[in-house]
Structure 1
Amino acid sequence: MSLRQYEYALAVAEEGSVTAAAERLHVAQPSVSQQIRGLERELGVKLFARTPSGLVPTVVGRAFLREAQVAVSASRRARATARAGAEELAGELVVAVQLGFGTRQLPGALSALRRRFPRLEVTVFEEQSSAELERLCTRGVLDLALMAACDRSPSDAHHLGVEEFVVVLTPGHAELAEDRVELRDLKAEPWLRFDRDSALDAVLTNALRDNDLAPTTAARVSQTSTAVRWAAHGLGVTLVPASAVPDGHEHLVRPISPTVTQPVIAVLRQDAGPAETALLELLRQETWPLEDVASGIDMERGPVDVAGARRS
């Protein structure tokens, strides 16, 4: 297997067809097809399935492509480090974000980073599973991650603030007349929830359990924006980070009591370079809600270790 095969497979997955992938890579279509077939023969599995909408990764294909992305990103980073100094930084910066975190803060920080390093390419993906995010983080394949906690934290992790969770109600809901909604008053509501292994669903489940509520599930979705829009169509209520509420839906949002928050921790890879260090500083300049020290979250900006505890 070669990095070229990895790159071809990733392009096919992103474009949904061999033809479009070949055009993007500026190579002949038969070359891409041959490389994909050779990769599948060597692995002994099918990486893609043909559907009416195009080629889509199989289950094993998705798992393979995740690791292929890691390998390709590491290769690009190594080449960029060898070729460029900090003042003319080029290459790829890989950022992972716990789903729903930093939705308002990250775009501004990345925009400022691009102005500083115009040749830098940034790859950002949202991860639903906190376990998978921590696995990628501790393996050192991410340049920077935004997450609530990292049990096996690298030495360079920093508190930025908190994400406060809010409830999104259906249009005409009686609780919209209130400034703040008691969770216990939503005991009869159907809930729009998230994938079972997602960190967001764990937050919702724990919040309802702590208030002696057993949720009725109306539907499960994978994205916060989908949950908010479905609530706006009357399918049920949902609980999301305040920063993840799309524009135009603020009238359906209310803070909740008791308050539900999660810390936002920026975890940098070991031996962090100038790009990720600069991004951390830019993120610190963004506006993050802060939680009182009495809540158990220390908002000093020093490095943190296990699950967000500040290092001495």
Structure 2
Amino acid sequence: MSLRQFEYALTIAEQGSVTAAAEVLRVAQPSVSQQIRGLERDLGVELFSRTPTGLVPTVAGRAFLREAQIAVSAARRARATARAGADELVGELVVAVQMGLGTRQLPGALGALRRRFPRLEVTVFEEPNPTELERLARGGVIDLGLMAGPCEGGLYDGHHLGDEEFVVVLAAGHPLLAADRVELQELGREPWVRFDHNSALDGVLVDVLRDNGLAPTTVARVSQTATAVRWAAHGLGVTFVPASAVPPGHEHVARPVTPVVSQPVVAAVRPGAGPAETALLEFLRQETWHRSAPGWVTPPSTAGSAPVV
């Protein structure tokens, strides 16, 4: 087995066909097919099933691809480290973000990083499930992560960037918008736009409402914070998101709550981080991690943190 075969299998899983994968990889289709057949022969299992919509990984294929991704990411980091010069860095940097954190701060930091290392390839993905985020971190896939709370287990060094206050988003014209802060108890009868089961954001909401003796009535579940905010603004229900996750133009329908709910934002970096991770951490430190708006105050306490690595 070779890393080339791993990359071919990962590309097929992403593209859904050998033909599309060959185009992305810029190699001949027969070569891709041959490499995958050889890989399946070595493994003794079938990695993909043919369906009307394309190739999909089998159960064994999904298990293999998870480990293949770890191996390919590690190889890319090794190449980047070996080729790093004093003024130039090439390779791939993988950044994982707990969904909802750093929505406004991360783009600026990444832009500064790309200007410093223009040949560096940066891959960023949001992960709503903290358990999956932890699995990826333990597998060595993540170079830098943004998450809530302290890092545990000694795998990564945690660097506290600031605190993220949560806000409730209401429909335009909602009477509670007249207040600078919304009492959580006043939301007892409101329907809620919530997030996917087992996501960190939904966990924060459930914990906060439970601690205040409230039981949410769910009208919808979504996967993205921007969707939740827009649906809440249109009157489907209220939602609860980090302040920086409120899209521009919707600040007028967001209010902080009483009691205050906030989370620490931590950058998790492997010990002995390379120049790319070190530079991105410094750029993140330069960003503003306290959001200000009329009637909003800096949160005096921290509550409702989610499980982290």
TM-score, normalization by structure 2: 0.86
8 Å CA contact 1:138, 1:152 repeated in 2: no
1:183-227 deviation line (CA, Å, top 9, x unaligned): 211111221111221111110100111110011111222221222
8 Å CA contact 1:49, 1:58 repeated in 2: no
Residue identity matched to 2:132: E
- The match for 1:79 is 79
1:286 Cα deviation after fit: 0.6
Going from structure 1 to structure 2, the CA distance change for 1:250 and 1:78 (only over 3 Å counts) comes to same
CA–CA distance in 2 between the matches of 1:174 and 1:4? 60
1:205-253 deviation line (CA, Å, top 9, x unaligned): 0011111001111122222122222223432211111111222322321
Residue identity matched to 1:130: P
8 Å CA contact 1:165, 1:241 repeated in 2: yes
8 Å CA contact 1:137, 1:269 repeated in 2: no
Going from structure 1 to structure 2, the CA distance change for 1:252 and 1:17 (only over 3 Å counts) comes to farther
8 Å CA contact 1:48, 1:61 repeated in 2: no
8 Å CA contact 2:69, 2:141 repeated in 1: no
Q: Structure 1 stretch 196-205 or stretch 243-252: which is displaced more?
A: 243-252
CA–CA distance in 2 between the matches of 1:294 and 1:248? 27
Q: RMSD of aligned C-alpha atoms?
A: 2.7
1:160-195 deviation line (CA, Å, top 9, x unaligned): 001111111123322223222112111112211112
Going from structure 1 to structure 2, the CA distance change for 1:286 and 1:6 (only over 3 Å counts) comes to same
Going from structure 1 to structure 2, the CA distance change for 1:205 and 1:118 (only over 3 Å counts) comes to same
TM-score, normalization by structure 1: 0.85
SS in 2 for 1:87: coil
- The match for 1:255 is 256
1:92 Cα deviation after fit: 0.7
Q: Structure 1 stretch 212-221 or stretch 249-258: which is displaced more?
A: 249-258
CA–CA distance in 2 between the matches of 1:98 and 1:148? 7
Question: What is the number of equivalent residue pairs in this alignment?
Answer: 299
- The match for 2:242 is 241
Correspondence 1:113 to 2:119: no
Correspondence 1:92 to 2:131: no
CA–CA distance in 1 between the matches of 2:55 and 2:216? 37
- The match for 1:135 is 135
CA–CA distance in 2 between the matches of 1:257 and 1:296? 12
1:20 Cα deviation after fit: 2.4
> Which 5+ residue runs of structure 1 have no aligned equivalent?
298-305
Residue identity matched to 2:199: S
Correspondence 1:157 to 2:163: no
Going from structure 1 to structure 2, the CA distance change for 1:18 and 1:231 (only over 3 Å counts) comes to farther
8 Å CA contact 1:153, 1:307 repeated in 2: no
Aligned ranges 1:53-64 → 2 under 5 Å: 54-55=54-55, 61-62=61-62, 64=64
Identity of counterpart residues, as a percentage?
71
8 Å CA contact 1:140, 1:270 repeated in 2: no
